[in-house]
């Protein structure tokens, strides 16, 4: 692993363990880039670790949805595929030694911990999934159209498996509905 971090974490909520989150986010971002054949050293991502109030403000301002959510992402570029279900365009890495920003991510502690408990997952597994999901958004993946959603989900599951995280889309039979 390079000494240069891909993910720069900005901590707004002290309930996040900055060191722990930094390790989880860095590992998830690097594996996502590696899985897609991209050199991690060519890119950087800013991650805001916040609470429900802050993410609700951001969700209102940027998406017109006045509610908290687990994660938001803002890609630096539009890398979306030209056709539904197609592979997004690859980003251009920055010049050697000068990484290019892929974009920004915000995670809400409140929603993430609540969802992890409700879904019977570890906090680490859930946050790792959300970081992989968000990095894929920064790289042009989306889930609005059916074929795009299928590609994104399949890619997430493959990356998470490489990280030792079980498929988050499989519902546990013993979980209450």
Q: Lowest mean pLDDT: which of 26-30, 119-123, 173-177?
A: 173-177
Pick the closest to residue 121 from 166, 154, 152 (CA basis).
166
Q: What is the dihedral of CA 1, 92, 135, 49, to 10 degrees?
A: 80
Question: Whole-angstrom Cα distance, residue 1 to residue 136?
Answer: 20
What is each CA distance from 86 to 38, 63, 139, in whole angstroms? 18, 25, 13
Is residue 81 within 8 Å of 144, Cβ to Cβ?
A: no
**Cα distances (angstroms) measured from residue 77 to each of 1, 90, 137, 141:** 26, 10, 10, 12
Between the CA atoms of 41, 80, 84 and 170, what dihedral angle is there, to the nearest 10 degrees?
50
CB 6 within 8 A of CB 100: no
| Predicted TM-score of the model (pTM) | 0.93
Three-class DSSP category at 152: helix
Over 80: is that where the pLDDT of 123 sits?
Answer: yes
CATH 3.40.390.30 fits 7-162, yes or no: yes
Percent of the chain at pLDDT exceeding 90: 86
- Per-residue pLDDT tens for 6-63? 999 999 999 999 899 999 999 999 999 999 999 998 899 999 999 999 999 999 999 9
More confident residue, 173 or 123: 123
Q: Where are the domains of the chain?
A: 7-162
Predicted pLDDT at 1: 42
pLDDT, mean of residues 59-78: 97
The pLDDT score that the predictor gives to residue 92 is 83
Note the pLDDT of residue 96.
67
Mean of pLDDT values over 88-93:
89
Work out the average pLDDT over 67-90: 96
| Rg from Cα positions in the chain | 16
Q: Are 109 and 54 in contact (CB under 8 A)?
A: no
């Amino acid at each position: 692993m390079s000494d240069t971090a891909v993910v720069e974490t900005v901590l707004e909520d002290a309930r996040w363990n900055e060191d722990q989150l930094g390790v989880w986010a860095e590992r998830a971002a690097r594996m996502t880039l590696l899985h897609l054949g991209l050199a991690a050293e060519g890119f950087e991502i800013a991650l805001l670790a916040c609470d429900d109030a802050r993410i609700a403000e951001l969700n209102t301002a940027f998406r017109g949805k006045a509610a908290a959510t687990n994660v938001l992402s803002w890609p630096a570029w539009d890398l979306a595929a030209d056709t539904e279900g197609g592979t997004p365009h690859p980003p251009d890495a920055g010049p050697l030694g000068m990484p290019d920003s892929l974009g920004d991510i915000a995670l809400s502690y409140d929603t993430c911990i609540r969802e992890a408990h409700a879904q019977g997952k570890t906090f680490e597994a859930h946050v790792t999934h959300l970081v992989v999901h968000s990095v894929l958004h920064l790289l042009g993946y989306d889930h609005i159209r059916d074929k795009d959603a299928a590609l994104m989900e399949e890619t997430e599951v493959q990356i998470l498996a490489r990280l030792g995280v079980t498929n988050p889309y499989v519902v546990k039979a013993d979980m209450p509905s």
